[in-house]
Structure 1
Amino acid sequence: MDEKAFEIFKLVSEGYCCSQIMLKLALDMEESKNDDLLRVVRGLCNGIGGSQKTCGVLTGGIGIFGLYAAKGKAGEWNKENYGRMVSEYMQWFEERFESSECEDIIGVYEFQGENNQSYPVKCGDVLLESFEKVIEILQENGYIFGNRE
Protein backbone atom coordinates (compact mmCIF):
# COMPACT_ATOMS: atom_id res chain seq x y z
CA MET A 1 0.00 0.00 0.00
CA ASP A 2 1.52 3.36 -0.94
CA GLU A 3 1.92 6.17 1.58
CA LYS A 4 -1.04 8.31 0.41
CA ALA A 5 -3.36 5.27 0.32
CA PHE A 6 -2.30 4.40 3.86
CA GLU A 7 -2.98 8.00 4.95
CA ILE A 8 -6.48 7.80 3.47
CA PHE A 9 -7.12 4.46 5.19
CA LYS A 10 -5.98 5.96 8.50
CA LEU A 11 -8.25 9.01 8.10
CA VAL A 12 -11.25 6.81 7.27
CA SER A 13 -10.55 4.68 10.34
CA GLU A 14 -10.44 7.89 12.42
CA GLY A 15 -13.99 8.70 11.27
CA TYR A 16 -13.35 11.39 8.66
CA CYS A 17 -15.60 11.36 5.61
CA CYS A 18 -14.53 11.88 1.99
CA SER A 19 -14.94 15.66 1.85
CA GLN A 20 -13.03 16.02 5.11
CA ILE A 21 -10.30 13.66 3.93
CA MET A 22 -9.70 15.65 0.75
CA LEU A 23 -9.22 18.87 2.72
CA LYS A 24 -7.29 17.21 5.56
CA LEU A 25 -4.81 15.74 3.06
CA ALA A 26 -4.25 19.23 1.63
CA LEU A 27 -3.86 20.81 5.07
CA ASP A 28 -1.49 18.07 6.19
CA MET A 29 0.72 18.65 3.15
CA GLU A 30 0.93 22.31 4.18
CA GLU A 31 1.64 21.23 7.75
CA SER A 32 -1.31 23.34 8.89
CA LYS A 33 -4.51 22.69 10.80
CA ASN A 34 -8.01 24.05 10.41
CA ASP A 35 -10.44 22.12 12.60
CA ASP A 36 -13.24 24.60 11.87
CA LEU A 37 -12.94 24.00 8.12
CA LEU A 38 -13.10 20.24 8.68
CA ARG A 39 -16.19 20.69 10.85
CA VAL A 40 -17.86 22.84 8.19
CA VAL A 41 -17.36 20.31 5.40
CA ARG A 42 -18.80 17.51 7.56
CA GLY A 43 -22.16 18.57 6.12
CA LEU A 44 -20.95 17.44 2.70
CA CYS A 45 -20.46 13.87 3.92
CA ASN A 46 -22.12 10.81 2.50
CA GLY A 47 -23.18 12.48 -0.70
CA ILE A 48 -23.97 15.99 0.64
CA GLY A 49 -25.92 15.89 3.86
CA GLY A 50 -26.18 12.10 3.85
CA SER A 51 -28.37 12.11 0.73
CA GLN A 52 -25.93 10.04 -1.36
CA LYS A 53 -26.13 12.81 -3.95
CA THR A 54 -23.11 15.03 -4.81
CA CYS A 55 -19.97 13.08 -3.89
CA GLY A 56 -17.83 14.38 -1.02
CA VAL A 57 -14.66 13.71 -3.00
CA LEU A 58 -15.92 16.13 -5.65
CA THR A 59 -16.95 18.82 -3.15
CA GLY A 60 -13.78 18.32 -1.11
CA GLY A 61 -11.64 18.79 -4.21
CA ILE A 62 -13.50 21.97 -5.08
CA GLY A 63 -12.84 23.10 -1.52
CA ILE A 64 -9.10 22.67 -2.08
CA PHE A 65 -9.29 24.97 -5.11
CA GLY A 66 -11.06 27.45 -2.85
CA LEU A 67 -8.17 27.34 -0.38
CA TYR A 68 -5.82 28.41 -3.16
CA ALA A 69 -7.85 30.71 -5.36
CA ALA A 70 -11.23 31.76 -3.90
CA LYS A 71 -12.21 34.97 -2.16
CA GLY A 72 -11.64 34.71 1.56
CA LYS A 73 -11.95 38.21 2.98
CA ALA A 74 -13.15 41.72 2.23
CA GLY A 75 -11.22 43.41 -0.54
CA GLU A 76 -10.16 40.07 -1.98
CA TRP A 77 -11.64 38.40 -5.08
CA ASN A 78 -11.49 34.98 -6.66
CA LYS A 79 -8.31 34.53 -8.62
CA GLU A 80 -8.84 34.54 -12.37
CA ASN A 81 -8.31 30.78 -12.76
CA TYR A 82 -10.52 29.65 -9.86
CA GLY A 83 -13.65 28.96 -11.93
CA ARG A 84 -11.65 27.31 -14.69
CA MET A 85 -9.97 24.92 -12.21
CA VAL A 86 -13.32 24.01 -10.63
CA SER A 87 -14.89 23.39 -14.05
CA GLU A 88 -11.96 21.27 -15.23
CA TYR A 89 -12.07 19.14 -12.09
CA MET A 90 -15.84 18.69 -12.26
CA GLN A 91 -15.68 17.67 -15.91
CA TRP A 92 -12.81 15.26 -15.29
CA PHE A 93 -14.58 13.79 -12.24
CA GLU A 94 -17.86 13.17 -14.04
CA GLU A 95 -16.11 11.64 -17.05
CA ARG A 96 -13.79 9.49 -14.96
CA PHE A 97 -16.40 8.16 -12.52
CA GLU A 98 -19.40 8.46 -14.87
CA SER A 99 -21.34 10.55 -12.34
CA SER A 100 -20.97 13.18 -9.67
CA GLU A 101 -23.36 11.40 -7.31
CA CYS A 102 -22.19 9.22 -4.46
CA GLU A 103 -24.86 6.56 -4.94
CA ASP A 104 -23.92 6.13 -8.62
CA ILE A 105 -20.20 5.90 -7.92
CA ILE A 106 -20.28 3.40 -5.06
CA GLY A 107 -23.65 1.78 -5.73
CA VAL A 108 -26.55 1.51 -3.35
CA TYR A 109 -24.98 1.61 0.05
CA GLU A 110 -26.14 2.24 3.59
CA PHE A 111 -23.74 4.35 5.62
CA GLN A 112 -23.32 3.08 9.15
CA GLY A 113 -24.22 5.82 11.66
CA GLU A 114 -22.40 9.06 12.38
CA ASN A 115 -19.59 7.57 14.44
CA ASN A 116 -19.21 4.23 12.73
CA GLN A 117 -18.81 5.02 9.06
CA SER A 118 -17.66 2.20 6.86
CA TYR A 119 -16.70 3.13 3.35
CA PRO A 120 -16.21 0.62 0.59
CA VAL A 121 -12.76 0.21 -0.93
CA LYS A 122 -13.97 2.08 -4.00
CA CYS A 123 -14.08 5.35 -2.05
CA GLY A 124 -10.39 5.01 -1.26
CA ASP A 125 -9.54 4.62 -4.93
CA VAL A 126 -11.73 7.61 -5.87
CA LEU A 127 -10.11 9.70 -3.11
CA LEU A 128 -6.58 8.82 -4.16
CA GLU A 129 -7.08 9.42 -7.86
CA SER A 130 -9.06 12.62 -7.34
CA PHE A 131 -6.55 14.08 -4.89
CA GLU A 132 -3.80 13.51 -7.44
CA LYS A 133 -5.93 15.22 -10.11
CA VAL A 134 -6.48 18.26 -7.86
CA ILE A 135 -2.72 18.57 -7.36
CA GLU A 136 -2.17 18.28 -11.12
CA ILE A 137 -4.74 21.00 -11.91
CA LEU A 138 -3.28 23.35 -9.30
CA GLN A 139 0.24 22.85 -10.65
CA GLU A 140 -0.91 23.38 -14.25
CA ASN A 141 -2.35 26.71 -13.07
CA GLY A 142 0.88 27.88 -11.46
CA TYR A 143 0.24 26.94 -7.83
CA ILE A 144 2.80 25.19 -5.67
CA PHE A 145 0.74 22.56 -3.88
CA GLY A 146 1.27 22.64 -0.16
CA ASN A 147 2.19 26.34 -0.17
CA ARG A 148 -0.62 28.89 -0.46
CA GLU A 149 1.48 31.92 0.43
Structure 2
Amino acid sequence: MNEGAFELFKLVSDGFCCSQIMMKLALDMEESENEDLIRAMGGFCDGIGGTQKECGVLTGGIGIIGLYAGKGKAKEWTKEDYGSMVREYMDWFEERFGSLECVDLIGVYRFEDENNRSYPVKCGDTILESFGKIQEILQEHGYELGSRE
Protein backbone atom coordinates (compact mmCIF):
# COMPACT_ATOMS: atom_id res chain seq x y z
CA MET A 1 0.00 0.00 0.00
CA ASN A 2 1.49 3.37 -0.97
CA GLU A 3 1.81 6.23 1.50
CA GLY A 4 -1.08 8.24 0.02
CA ALA A 5 -3.46 5.28 0.14
CA PHE A 6 -2.43 4.51 3.72
CA GLU A 7 -3.06 8.14 4.76
CA LEU A 8 -6.51 8.01 3.14
CA PHE A 9 -7.30 4.77 4.94
CA LYS A 10 -6.39 6.40 8.27
CA LEU A 11 -8.52 9.48 7.57
CA VAL A 12 -11.54 7.41 6.51
CA SER A 13 -11.05 5.20 9.58
CA ASP A 14 -11.08 8.35 11.70
CA GLY A 15 -14.50 9.22 10.22
CA PHE A 16 -13.58 12.03 7.83
CA CYS A 17 -15.52 12.35 4.58
CA CYS A 18 -14.14 13.21 1.14
CA SER A 19 -14.42 17.01 1.38
CA GLN A 20 -12.78 16.95 4.81
CA ILE A 21 -10.05 14.60 3.60
CA MET A 22 -9.20 16.88 0.68
CA MET A 23 -8.81 19.86 3.01
CA LYS A 24 -6.99 17.84 5.65
CA LEU A 25 -4.44 16.70 3.05
CA ALA A 26 -3.81 20.34 2.08
CA LEU A 27 -3.44 21.43 5.70
CA ASP A 28 -1.14 18.48 6.40
CA MET A 29 1.13 19.65 3.58
CA GLU A 30 1.38 22.99 5.42
CA GLU A 31 1.98 21.14 8.67
CA SER A 32 -0.96 23.04 10.13
CA GLU A 33 -4.32 22.23 11.65
CA ASN A 34 -7.63 24.04 11.50
CA GLU A 35 -10.38 22.07 13.21
CA ASP A 36 -12.99 24.74 12.47
CA LEU A 37 -12.25 24.58 8.76
CA ILE A 38 -12.41 20.77 8.80
CA ARG A 39 -15.75 20.97 10.65
CA ALA A 40 -17.07 23.46 8.08
CA MET A 41 -16.02 21.16 5.24
CA GLY A 42 -18.27 18.53 6.85
CA GLY A 43 -21.24 20.34 5.34
CA PHE A 44 -20.12 19.05 1.97
CA CYS A 45 -20.00 15.39 3.06
CA ASP A 46 -21.82 12.80 1.01
CA GLY A 47 -22.52 15.19 -1.83
CA ILE A 48 -23.40 18.45 -0.02
CA GLY A 49 -25.30 17.76 3.16
CA GLY A 50 -25.83 14.08 2.42
CA THR A 51 -27.86 14.73 -0.75
CA GLN A 52 -25.37 12.91 -2.99
CA LYS A 53 -25.33 16.00 -5.24
CA GLU A 54 -21.97 17.72 -5.89
CA CYS A 55 -19.12 15.39 -4.98
CA GLY A 56 -17.15 16.11 -1.80
CA VAL A 57 -13.89 15.58 -3.68
CA LEU A 58 -14.98 18.33 -6.06
CA THR A 59 -16.10 20.74 -3.32
CA GLY A 60 -13.07 19.92 -1.19
CA GLY A 61 -10.78 20.75 -4.11
CA ILE A 62 -12.58 24.03 -4.71
CA GLY A 63 -12.14 24.76 -1.00
CA ILE A 64 -8.39 24.23 -1.34
CA ILE A 65 -8.27 26.66 -4.26
CA GLY A 66 -10.17 29.14 -2.08
CA LEU A 67 -7.68 28.62 0.73
CA TYR A 68 -4.96 29.90 -1.59
CA ALA A 69 -6.74 32.41 -3.81
CA GLY A 70 -10.02 33.29 -2.08
CA LYS A 71 -11.12 36.25 0.02
CA GLY A 72 -10.48 35.82 3.72
CA LYS A 73 -10.90 39.23 5.32
CA ALA A 74 -12.28 42.72 4.80
CA LYS A 75 -10.54 44.79 2.16
CA GLU A 76 -9.12 41.64 0.61
CA TRP A 77 -10.36 40.29 -2.70
CA THR A 78 -10.18 36.96 -4.40
CA LYS A 79 -7.07 36.63 -6.51
CA GLU A 80 -7.54 37.39 -10.19
CA ASP A 81 -7.10 33.75 -11.20
CA TYR A 82 -9.45 32.26 -8.58
CA GLY A 83 -12.42 31.80 -10.92
CA SER A 84 -10.36 30.37 -13.75
CA MET A 85 -8.73 27.84 -11.41
CA VAL A 86 -12.13 26.74 -10.10
CA ARG A 87 -13.49 26.38 -13.64
CA GLU A 88 -10.38 24.48 -14.75
CA TYR A 89 -10.76 22.04 -11.86
CA MET A 90 -14.49 21.57 -12.39
CA ASP A 91 -14.07 21.03 -16.14
CA TRP A 92 -11.22 18.55 -15.58
CA PHE A 93 -13.18 16.73 -12.87
CA GLU A 94 -16.31 16.30 -15.00
CA GLU A 95 -14.31 15.23 -18.04
CA ARG A 96 -12.16 12.81 -16.03
CA PHE A 97 -14.90 11.21 -13.90
CA GLY A 98 -17.98 11.74 -16.08
CA SER A 99 -20.03 13.70 -13.56
CA LEU A 100 -19.85 16.24 -10.75
CA GLU A 101 -22.40 14.41 -8.61
CA CYS A 102 -21.59 11.99 -5.83
CA VAL A 103 -24.43 9.61 -6.68
CA ASP A 104 -23.17 9.20 -10.26
CA LEU A 105 -19.61 8.63 -9.14
CA ILE A 106 -20.10 6.11 -6.36
CA GLY A 107 -23.31 4.38 -7.36
CA VAL A 108 -24.06 1.78 -4.69
CA TYR A 109 -20.49 1.34 -3.44
CA ARG A 110 -21.18 2.41 0.14
CA PHE A 111 -21.06 1.02 3.63
CA GLU A 112 -22.28 2.40 6.95
CA ASP A 113 -20.66 2.60 10.35
CA GLU A 114 -22.19 2.24 13.82
CA ASN A 115 -23.30 5.90 13.78
CA ASN A 116 -25.27 5.30 10.58
CA ARG A 117 -22.86 7.58 8.78
CA SER A 118 -22.19 6.38 5.24
CA TYR A 119 -18.83 6.46 3.49
CA PRO A 120 -18.05 5.84 -0.13
CA VAL A 121 -15.71 2.93 -0.67
CA LYS A 122 -14.85 3.90 -4.23
CA CYS A 123 -13.45 7.40 -3.64
CA GLY A 124 -9.81 6.76 -2.72
CA ASP A 125 -8.41 6.89 -6.25
CA THR A 126 -10.62 9.88 -7.05
CA ILE A 127 -9.26 11.74 -4.03
CA LEU A 128 -5.62 10.98 -4.83
CA GLU A 129 -5.94 11.90 -8.50
CA SER A 130 -7.95 15.05 -7.76
CA PHE A 131 -5.56 16.19 -5.04
CA GLY A 132 -2.75 15.84 -7.57
CA LYS A 133 -4.73 17.90 -10.09
CA ILE A 134 -5.29 20.63 -7.49
CA GLN A 135 -1.53 20.74 -6.87
CA GLU A 136 -0.94 21.01 -10.62
CA ILE A 137 -3.48 23.82 -11.10
CA LEU A 138 -2.12 25.81 -8.17
CA GLN A 139 1.45 25.37 -9.39
CA GLU A 140 0.54 26.47 -12.93
CA HIS A 141 -0.85 29.68 -11.40
CA GLY A 142 2.17 30.39 -9.23
CA TYR A 143 0.96 28.90 -5.95
CA GLU A 144 2.70 26.16 -4.01
CA LEU A 145 0.46 23.78 -2.11
CA GLY A 146 1.86 23.72 1.40
CA SER A 147 2.99 27.34 1.41
CA ARG A 148 0.50 30.20 1.52
CA GLU A 149 2.94 32.85 2.72
Structure 2 length-normalised TM: 0.94
The residue identity in structure 1 corresponding to 2:65 is F
Once the two structures are superposed, what CA deviation does each residue of 1:81-115 show, in whole Å capped at 9, x if it has no partner?
A: 11010000000000000000001001135552656
The residue identity in structure 2 corresponding to 1:11 is L
Task: Give every structure 1 segment of 4 or more consecutive aligned residues whose post-TM-superposition deviation is greater than 6 Å.
Answer: none
Match of 1:49, SS state, is coil
Match of 2:48, SS state, is coil
The residue identity in structure 1 corresponding to 2:63 is G
Give the equivalent residue in structure 2 for 1:101: 101
Give the equivalent residue in structure 1 for 2:11: 11
Instruction: Give the RMSD, CA atoms, in angstroms.
Output: 1.4
Structure 1 length-normalised TM: 0.94
Separation of aligned partners in 1, 2:51 and 2:110: 11
Instruction: Kindly tell me the number of residue pairs found equivalent between the two proteins.
Output: 148
Separation of aligned partners in 1, 2:109 and 2:60: 20
Separation of aligned partners in 2, 1:47 and 1:126: 14
Match of 1:51, SS state, is coil
Map 1:1-149 → 2, pairs under 5 A: 1-108=1-108, 112=112, 114=115, 116-120=117-121, 122-149=122-149
Separation of aligned partners in 1, 2:67 and 2:45: 19
CA apart distance, 1:70: 0.3
Unaligned runs of 5+ in 2: none
CA apart distance, 1:41: 1.1
Unaligned runs of 5+ in 1: none
The residue identity in structure 2 corresponding to 1:47 is G
Does the CA-based 8 Å contact 1:99-1:105 persist in structure 2? yes
CA apart distance, 1:42: 0.5
Does the CA-based 8 Å contact 1:15-1:117 persist in structure 2? no
CA apart distance, 1:119: 2.5
Separation of aligned partners in 1, 2:49 and 2:130: 21
Separation of aligned partners in 2, 1:38 and 1:100: 21
Q: What fraction of aligned residue pairs are identical, expressed as a percent?
A: 69
Match of 1:64, SS state, is helix
Higher mean displacement: 21-30 or 107-116: 107-116
